[in-house]
């Protein structure tokens, strides 16, 4: 009897770009991809944070390339990606949130969130895809979305709108790029404890609401995302594209 072989999770000889790598989920993704063999390029607006991360990774025997990148500047995205060798893997974790009641939304806040979360994610994904296509290479492009890209939430109308849009363009791009063997997916986390989200968790009322919605009765941590990004980046997910990997502790099961 011929037995099947488990596809490899190894990322050896793969080049990965992680945008928004200076903290939180992006940082966790960078570590995970490097641990599974990828050559990583970490990108963010804050060069000092990138240098600190690079030094910490070096202590673990992981070498990195650094790229200062503000995804809100689409012209800079194209310039940066076009001067670099093609990336086999993209993790787009750059994002911002400005929460308020929908009736109190400020236009400037709306524009800021959409510029980074939607426009930046879209054009970074397409810039990396074009380089892969020109090199006739396959790839795995991963956008860090949110459970709020699948449902709504209080004080999150703008953020949720931006992430619903990410879900939409990811599916459409996956259809277009399938023939080039370029896969495009999202990861949709629940509330993950990071420096950015700590103020939310420090609010007892908000923490109670979050825990009431997560069926596993605990908040998320960065480590909960790390295995998922390795899976989607690797050959273990070779037939997955245009999909959302939801890591929400059962939030959206209702």
Does the pLDDT at position 63 exceed 90?
no
Q: Model's pTM, two decimal places?
A: 0.95
The per-residue pLDDT for 212 is 92
The per-residue pLDDT for 200 is 86
The model's pLDDT over 82-124, given as tens digits with 9 standing for 90+, comes to: 999 999 999 999 999 999 999 999 999 999 999 999 999 999 9
Q: What 3-state DSSP class applies to 180?
A: helix
**DSSP 8-state assignment for residue 4:** P
Dump the DSSP string for 91-152.
EE---------GGG--HHHHHHHHIIIIIIHHHHHHHHHHHHHHTT--EEEEEE--GGGTS-
- For the chain, give the mean pLDDT: 95
Report in angstroms the alpha-carbon separations of 199 from 179, 194, 205, 209.
44, 9, 12, 14
Does the pLDDT at position 198 exceed 90?
no
When pLDDT is cut at 50, 70 and 90, the band that residue 48 belongs to is confident
Q: What 3-state DSSP class applies to 211?
A: helix
Question: Is residue 159 annotated as part of the catalytic site, yes or no?
Answer: yes
- The H or E element that residue 189 is part of is strand 182-189
**DSSP 8-state assignment for residue 218:** S
The per-residue pLDDT for 195 is 82
- Compute the distance between CA of residue 83 and CA of residue 171 in angstroms, rounded to an integer: 27
The per-residue pLDDT for 197 is 86
- Compute the distance between CA of residue 31 and CA of residue 26 in angstroms, rounded to an integer: 9
- Compute the distance between CA of residue 245 and CA of residue 92 in angstroms, rounded to an integer: 15
- Compute the distance between CA of residue 77 and CA of residue 226 in angstroms, rounded to an integer: 25
When pLDDT is cut at 50, 70 and 90, the band that residue 199 belongs to is confident
Q: 115, 113, 132: which is closest to 184 by C-alpha?
A: 132
**DSSP 8-state assignment for residue 220:** B
Q: 11, 159, 173: which is closest to 89 by C-alpha?
A: 11
37 C-beta neighbours (distance < 10 Å), count? 16
Which range among 55-59, 154-158, 227-231 has the greatest average pLDDT? 227-231
Does the pLDDT at position 62 exceed 90?
no
Among 15-29, 126-140, 195-209, which stretch is predicted with the lowest mean pLDDT?
Answer: 195-209
Mean pLDDT over 208-228 rounds to 94
The per-residue pLDDT for 47 is 82
The per-residue pLDDT for 254 is 82
When pLDDT is cut at 50, 70 and 90, the band that residue 223 belongs to is very high
- Answer whether CATH 3.50.50.60 is correct for domain 15-193+222-247: no
From 159, 191, 231, 251, active-site residue: 159
Residues β-bridged to residue 185: 142
Q: Given CA atoms 52, 189, 245, 248 in this order, what sign does their dihedral have?
A: positive
The residues near 25 (Cβ < 8 Å, ≥ 6 apart) are 93, 144, 189, 192, 194, 222, 225
Does the pLDDT at position 236 exceed 90?
yes
Among 3-17, 27-41, 195-209, which stretch is predicted with the lowest mean pLDDT?
Answer: 195-209
62 C-beta neighbours (distance < 10 Å), count? 17
When pLDDT is cut at 50, 70 and 90, the band that residue 131 belongs to is very high
Main-chain phi, psi angles of 9, to 5 degrees: -95, -5
């Amino acid at each position: 009897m011929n037995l099947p072989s488990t596809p490899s999770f190894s990322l050896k000889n793969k080049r990965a770009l992680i945008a928004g790598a200076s903290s939180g989920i992006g940082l966790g993704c960078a570590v995970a991809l490097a641990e599974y063999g990828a050559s990583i390029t970490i990108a963010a607006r804050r060069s000092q944070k990138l240098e600190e991360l690079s030094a910490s990774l070096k202590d673990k025997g992981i070498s990195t390339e650094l790229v200062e990148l503000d995804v809100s500047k689409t012209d800079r995205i194209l310039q940066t990606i076009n001067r670099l060798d093609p990336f086999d893997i993209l993790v787009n974790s750059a994002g911002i949130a400005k929460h308020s009641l929908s009736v109190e939304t400020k236009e400037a806040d709306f524009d800021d969130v959409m510029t980074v979360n939607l426009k930046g994610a879209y054009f970074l994904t397409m810039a990396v895809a074009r380089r892969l296509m020109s090199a006739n290479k396959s790839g795995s492009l991963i956008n860090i979305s949110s459970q709020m890209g699948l449902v709504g939430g209080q004080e999150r109308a703008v953020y949720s709108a931006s992430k619903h849009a990410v879900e939409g363009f990811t599916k459409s791009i996956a259809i277009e790029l399938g023939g080039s063997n370029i896969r495009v997916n999202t990861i949709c986390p629940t509330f993950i404890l990071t420096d950015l989200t700590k103020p939310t968790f420090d609010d007892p009322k908000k923490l109670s609401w979050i825990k009431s919605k997560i069926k596993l009765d605990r908040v998320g941590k960065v480590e909960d995302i790390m295995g998922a990004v390795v899976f989607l980046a690797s050959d273990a997910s070779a037939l997955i594209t245009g999909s959302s990997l939801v890591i929400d502790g059962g939030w959206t099961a209702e």
